[in-house]
Homo-oligomer: A and B are copies of this chain.
């Protein structure tokens, strides 16, 4: 089963794309750090310093300014698709696939993470705000 989340971001697709692949930017809206620039075939280590956690993902496909696909250690595949409606507006679509449909709690928790990250991303690239991340309380 999959989790699908879509959001409108009032910036060009190239800026949304760079926010993910450029390791200097991810710490403003999602993980605290990314080990290197995202490119197809690379293994990238993503750290959450606040939660003493890290995850390694494999970047399986990249289309510049259009698509990013990666697999995590649990075998789930996430596809980030960017649809530029006009030069100043992009619809970002995040689809994570691979869930057991009986894992309702896992699906809800996963949805929480994607919506939170996307809203922090929107605040970061539209408004330059990088202080919203890492505030969900478990």
Contacts and interface: CB of A to CB of B under 8 A. Distances in A.
Interface of A: 3, 5-9, 91, 93, 101, 104, 107-108, 111-112, 115-116, 119-120, 122-123, 126-127, 129, 131-132, 135-138
Number of identical monomers bound together in the oligomeric complex: 2
* Majority secondary structure, A binding face: mixed
A112 to B, nearest CB: 5
Contacts of A111: 108, 111-112, 115
Contacts of A112: 5, 111, 115
A52 to B, nearest CB: 17
25 contacts: A3-B108, A5-B136, A6-B137, A7-B135, A7-B136, A7-B137, A8-B135, A9-B135, A91-B137, A93-B137, A104-B104, A108-B111, A111-B111, A111-B112, A111-B115, A112-B115, A115-B115, A115-B136, A116-B119, A119-B123, A119-B132, A122-B135, A123-B127, A127-B127, A127-B131
